[in-house]
Amino acid sequence: MIAEVAHRLEIPRRLRALVRARESSLIGLAAVVGVLGGLVVAVMGTAVDLLHQVLFNLPVGPVPFHWGMAERLSAQLKLNPVLAFSVPLLGGLFFGTVTECIRRFRPEREIDPIEANALHGGRMSLLGSVIVAAQTVWSSGVGASVGLEAGYTQFASGIASRIGNAFHLRRGDLRILVGCGAAAGIAGAFGAPLAGAFYGFELIIGSYSPNSLAPVGISALIGYLVAHAFSSVDIGVVGPEKITITTRELAIAAVLGLLASILGILLMRGVALCEVMFSRLRLRPALRTMTGGMVIGLIAMAYPQVMSSGHGALRIIGVLDLSIRTIALVFMLKILASIASLGSGFRGGLFFSSLLIGSLGGHLLAVALTMMFPTSYFDPNAFAVIGMSALAASVIGGPLTMIFIALETTGDLWLTTLVLIAVIISAQVTREVFGYSFATWRFHLRGETIRSAADIGWMRDLTVGKMMRQDVQTVHASTTVASFREAFPLGSTAYVVAVDEADRYVGLVHVPETHAAEALPDKAIKDFLHYTDEMLLPGMAVKEAVLAFDRAEAEALAVVDSYLDRRIIGLLTEAYVLRRYSAALERRRQEMLGEE
């Protein structure tokens, strides 16, 4: 039904032309996406809260679209142990069973906003986005230790992509609109429009440009306002009352950033290792998620704070005077629960989990320093904010996003200065040592080469098959020099492809060389062959072709159907490849700067 409606969503040609001709029209579309993104946050958040209330017997909220801190699952100090264990277990079994059924009808993997913008020019499946959003809601609803932010951005960006396709937007504009959807979702979820906008720039679009500022900014602001209209958005951060910045605080923030980068790398590798372990067990999807749910349930029987995204846990850790032992246990168990949830196959993100884990880690460091230096005071809430920002910057890969989340949730500019130091160090160390964020690390594990949302899909679209000349002139390798000179006089062409008796490629003949050669007229042309083992395939991308020319030190190469059959289908010159490559790069540059 959804796919049919999406397919029929087609805009009249005149209106499409008007939108494509004006930048202000793109801003109007971004505003619409912002409204829809805010509604996505409200609906998905309410759905998860209702699941928590029904499945875990939590107090019912007073009105729809309103979720208070007291009713949050992770804010509960104790849960019914039977429910705490059975709901994630059976919820995981149901999730895996339904997922297995869905894969029979949709075997292709769903594309997320980062991959869509990097490889597919912003094109996403709306039906696939709905499926991912529903899976995320269910995963968090049954207590899996995952965040909803992945579902927010997937659904909102999927809607934006469908709207952009209906208007036949240019590739660059469609990528911006997809970023608008993600920005609206994050702004609404975290109550931070600036952070939402920079999430769109850093993680979804992959760059900042003047022509993307207004659409992304408007969408983020409207997404926040719409989500805020249904609920008072509060992620649970408790900032310090007052903080003084000295050299000591700057040094500790730097150390915390370093520790956060190490923990972030271990966390990302831990999820990958868990996935490998489940793969080696060769369990069916239903049994995998059921096993992950069992692990979560066993932990939640004693510490329900590890369940779901952790908004409530972040609040109670900052408000209640919990023992250092409790905080340390929740810290370690939340890491274990997050790894088990994502590694076993539950849907969701690591964004908010990394915020909670980083907050707990910063709190623990403050307590440890206070024990080591009893005459000094180290504010646990301040270090919690620094820790959560630094760890999330390592895992998510958006340093400016995390800086603005800290600023907008605490309103403390001086604290944000310390966050800036920690985030810079954490992001840089992770980049140097590991080289990936959580999303791009998972792409790497699947064999993809992308490390950001920067648009490289055009390079894969610009293939040898699309650039090659098909009017190839061939000659048999046994032809004599005299016959070759007669058939191909000087100036007629530069290269001729030589083939054997079976019409298989054997090499290239440089026409001027044969005419300049002092050789007997009856000498075979096979003595003048070049690049006998260097060939191109039609599916090679432009970057691969450039590397092939460099390796062969050739000005032209033949294109064959396969290395095995070696049937000639075209010819490509290095000069033409470089010209097309440079022209495509220039178009991308103009799109980024808004010069088109």
Q: Where are the domains of the chain?
A: 2-233, 247-445, 460-587
- In order of 12, 170, 380, 381, 423, the CA distances from 388 in angstroms are 48, 38, 12, 11, 10
CA angle 415, 421, 422 (to 5 degrees): 90
Q: Answer for the pair 209, 20: CB distance below 8 angstroms, yes or no.
A: no
- In order of 297, 434, 494, the CA distances from 276 in angstroms are 22, 19, 53
Per-residue pLDDT of the chain (596 residues; tens, 9 = 90+): 444 444 455 676 666 666 666 777 889 999 999 999 999 999 999 999 899 989 998 876 543 434 344 457 877 888 899 999 999 999 999 999 999 998 888 878 788 898 888 888 889 999 999 999 999 999 999 999 998 999 999 999 999 999 998 888 888 889 999 999 999 999 999 989 999 999 999 999 988 888 889 999 999 999 999 998 887 666 666 667 667 777 888 999 999 999 999 999 999 999 999 999 998 888 888 999 999 999 999 999 999 889 988 776 677 666 566 788 888 999 999 999 999 999 999 998 888 889 999 999 998 998 899 888 888 888 888 898 999 999 999 999 889 999 999 998 888 888 899 999 999 999 999 999 998 888 887 777 776 667 666 656 666 777 888 888 888 888 888 888 888 888 888 877 888 989 888 889 998 988 888 877 665 666 778 888 888 888 999 888 888 888 888 888 888 899 999 888 899 999 988 888 888 878 777 776 666 555 55
How many residues belong to the chain? 596
Structure tokens at 334: 């939340």
Q: Which residue is it, tokens 């060939």? A: 535
pLDDT value of residue 4: 44
The CATH code that applies to domain 460-587 is 3.10.580.10
pLDDT value of residue 233: 63
pLDDT value of residue 167: 87
The dihedral over CA atoms of 290, 296, 298, 304, expressed in degrees to the nearest 10, equals -140
- Output DSSP code: residue 594: T
**Percent helix, strand and coil across the chain, each to the nearest 5:** 65, 5, 25
Domain 2-233 bears CATH identifier 3.10.180.10: no
Cα separation, 177 vs 194, in Å, equals 17
Cα separation, 545 vs 576, in Å, equals 11
pLDDT value of residue 223: 95
Identity of the residue numbered 102: I
| 460-587 matches 247-445 in CATH topology | no
pLDDT value of residue 214: 92
Beta bridge partners of 571: 469, 558
pLDDT value of residue 66: 40
- In 10 A of CB 484, how many CB atoms? 22
The domain covering 247-445 belongs, at the CATH homologous superfamily level, to: Clc chloride channel (1.10.3080.10)
Helices (H), 23-170: 23-55, 81-105, 113-119, 126-141, 149-166
Buried b (16+ CB within 10 A) or exposed e, 461-483: ebbbeebbeeebeebbbebebee
Cα separation, 223 vs 30, in Å, equals 10
Cα separation, 142 vs 47, in Å, equals 11
Pairing status of strand 474-476 against strand 529-530:
unpaired
CA angle 48, 343, 124 (to 5 degrees): 65
Tell me, rounded to whole angstroms, the distance of Cα 190 from its chain centroid.
19
- In 10 A of CB 304, how many CB atoms? 25
Nearest to 356 by CA among 333, 375, 373: 333
Q: Answer for the pair 196, 224: CB distance below 8 angstroms, yes or no.
A: yes
Q: Which residue is it, tokens 């790894």? A: 339
pTM given for the model: 0.81
Q: Answer for the pair 471, 492: CB distance below 8 angstroms, yes or no.
A: no
pLDDT value of residue 526: 81
pLDDT value of residue 70: 42
- In 10 A of CB 81, how many CB atoms? 14
Radius of gyration of the chain (CA): 29
Buried b (16+ CB within 10 A) or exposed e, 405-444: bbbbbbebeebbbbbbbbbbbbbbbbbeebebbbbbbbbe
Q: Which residue is it, tokens 């008072």? A: 232
Cα separation, 472 vs 505, in Å, equals 12
Residue 349, classed as helix, strand or coil, is strand
Q: Answer for the pair 19, 174: CB distance below 8 angstroms, yes or no.
A: no
- In order of 235, 242, 384, 404, the CA distances from 415 in angstroms are 18, 9, 11, 11
Side by side, the strands of the sheet bearing 529-530 are 474-476, 495-499, 505-510, 529-530
Cα separation, 513 vs 158, in Å, equals 57
The dihedral over CA atoms of 27, 30, 35, 38, expressed in degrees to the nearest 10, equals -130
pLDDT value of residue 18: 64
- In order of 306, 331, 346, 515, 586, the CA distances from 326 in angstroms are 12, 8, 26, 87, 57
